[in-house]
A and B are shown apart, each in its own frame.
Chain A
């Protein structure tokens, strides 16, 4: 009798911790909202919240993309550079400048060109990883350099301006007064969650991420799944590159700088397991918002760069600690 009582208490304790880990990121986000609302009267205004959504959209789109490989126990280190080279390729193709001097393509073709290039990069790292068992950590690192170099070649290492309105419109226009970049982000988020929840492919991603050997024995085509996740993350990076053109109104050869770690951090912040098998898109959204709201709020408060870094470090540490505590 006594042993069963102990069992129950252990189960209950576990449950609460798991609950906490599950809702930890959301609680953290709400905490940030409360704190910043109290500290600054301009924080919780419609205009500022739209700004926050706009500011997190690029990182958000990349984070959604990189959630797929992370769920599958892979990692994609090339997203920032793939985003850069895809954006630059779309811009140069549409304008007909630099590498593609004098051969301007219609905007849809230019966009397709950028997406195909990104897909090619994802296929390359995905194939080498899945077929030959090279860790995705290494193959995507190789692609990082490849894409970086190609971006410099395509753009001639100079910003490209004078982009056609239809190209910048994807990320830089307003639909009923709402920024289009946020709509792109939201649509991709919903589609990705549906893909994870309601398709066989989504289920396989979790299975392979949870235990690759078991998944293989169950007859899942592990190679295709692993490769697929890397192709998806490259494609999302390319879309991020496309909307970036609209957001900043030009294509800058350094536009991917500093955009590798934030998306990955957002995914982990949102409660996904860095070693695969658990996590979802809603968590990623929360993670992205934590990063974005933190930055926005600190900017509004006028905290200097050093203070911002310290604050970010503290929040990240608390968030990942909460994640891991609840898991074991």
Chain B
């Protein structure tokens, strides 16, 4: 009897601990997806020549930076620390970094650090870089708070710091290079509107939104962009909005329910990431419907669908651009120029027209 009770108590306790652990795990996962923006994105980062990517992206800042760089003509040693190569997003950063090294944009002694998603490893990485007396430190922090001390040490050693993709909470940085999720949401929604206008002639268009994980900052920001697009375009109506948890299956189920409820009223679908766009596509295909779908991130599997459908699109995030912009602005700072506090790397609009170029360039 006692034994039985013990076992029950243990299982009971276990269940509570498990719930806690699970909550922890989920939280972690969300954080990842959130802060990276492209944690759930995928990409094989077969890094490409930085020059090329600038042209495609039409990144003004980067182009400007190029001139500056050639003007200063120095090659500083740079350290780049990223949270985890588990995410293709950061793997693409690594490739861009190596490419910059090969091209002589930065010194051969430049080092890339993968923190393996461990905050203390990242701090040690930064300390190592400081001991090596690098000229420029670029960092994508695992958590904004976790690296504060390391950033302070860099400040004391007079090493300029550039924050990439994820900002740091305190300490001096010369600039923060990242995507603007509000802008990405708005541009993707407006791309969807253009598609809807192209596919049918109507006075107003009804769009449904598939949101990310509720409460995540990326979800809120991209949702805000969607709302801005709806507010600013009179012909655009929000029909419904529901969370697809950034996941293909959830998006598929939600889209099926949207089709049941709204059917032909749906003129277009805006998804807060590309994995959900894949799910929406699947649901529409099963229902023998075809409406424009746009996503965000530039996930390979989604872009590969574009060849069949001219009304599919996405806004790709470009980690390569972030790295290159960071390097150029860092060099500009070293050359004594003023650098903006925040630099937005514009997402690249990918549609059927440039899909194969995009795939060749970033995933080839």
Contacts and interface: CB of A to CB of B under 8 A. Distances in A.
A55 B253 contact: yes
B361 interface: no
A145 B243 CA distance: 27
Given A51-B260, A137-B18, A274-B11, A248 B249 contact: yes
A156 B21 CA distance: 26
A305 B275 contact: no
B252 A248 contact: yes
A300 B248 contact: no
B303 to A, nearest CB: 11
A158 interface: yes
Contact of A255 (B249, B258, B304): B249
A302 B260 contact: no
A253 B42 contact: yes
Nearest to A295: B253
A22 interface: no
Contact of B256 (A55, A135, A306): A55
Contact of B8 (A58, A159, A275, A305): A275
Interface in A258-314: 258, 260-261, 274-275, 295-296, 299-300, 302, 304-306, 308-309
A257 B44 contact: no
B249 A247 contact: yes
B180 interface: no
Contact of A58 (B21, B240, B249, B279): B249
Contact of B15 (A255, A274, A302): A274
Contacts of A188: none
Contact of A300 (B42, B260, B300, B304): B260
Contacts of A16: none
B87 interface: yes
Contact of B214 (A212, A250, A309): A309
Interface in B263-282: 275, 278-279, 282
A152 interface: yes
A93 B42 CA distance: 20
A158 B260 contact: no
A157 B254 contact: no
B242 interface: yes
A42 B214 contact: no
B20 interface: no
B66 interface: no
Interface residues of B, number: 50
B42 to A, nearest CB: 4
A299 B26 contact: no
A54 interface: yes
Contacts of A308: 243
A156 to B, nearest CB: 7
Contacts of A300: 257, 260-261
Given A51-B256, A54-B256, A305 B301 contact: no
A73 B14 CA distance: 12
Contacts of B87: 157
Contact of B241 (A73, A244, A296, A304): A304
Contacts of B44: 156, 158
Given A48-B260, A157-B42, A73 B282 contact: no
Contact of B248 (A48, A51, A248): A248
A258 to B, nearest CB: 6
Contact of A305 (B242, B249, B261, B299): B242
Interface in A60-118: 73, 75, 77
A248 B4 contact: no
Interface in B285-320: 299-301, 304
B254 A159 contact: no
Contact of B86 (A51, A137, A152, A305): A152
A158 B43 contact: yes
Contacts of B21: 141
Contacts of B249: 58, 244, 247-248, 255
A275 B245 contact: no
Interface string B217-257: 00000000000000000000000111101111110111011
A269 B166 CA distance: 41
B88 A261 contact: no
Contacts of A75: 11, 14-15, 18
A249 interface: yes
A275 B15 CA distance: 10
Given A274-B11, A300-B261, 7 more contacts: A77-B22, A157-B87, A247-B252, A249-B278, A254-B247, A299-B257, A309-B214
Interface of B: 3-4, 7-8, 10-12, 14-15, 17-18, 21-22, 26, 29, 40, 42-44, 86-88, 211, 214, 240-243, 245-250, 252-254, 256-258, 260-261, 275, 278-279, 282, 299-301, 304
Interface of A: 40, 42, 45, 47-48, 51, 54-55, 58, 73, 75, 77, 135, 137, 141, 152, 156-161, 211-213, 244, 247-250, 252-255, 257-258, 260-261, 274-275, 295-296, 299-300, 302, 304-306, 308-309
19 contacts: A40-B261, A75-B15, A137-B11, A141-B21, A152-B86, A157-B42, A157-B86, A158-B44, A159-B278, A244-B249, A247-B249, A247-B252, A250-B248, A257-B245, A258-B26, A258-B245, A258-B247, A260-B22, A300-B260
Give 4 nearest A-B pairs by CB, closest first: A299-B257, A159-B301, A305-B243, A158-B42
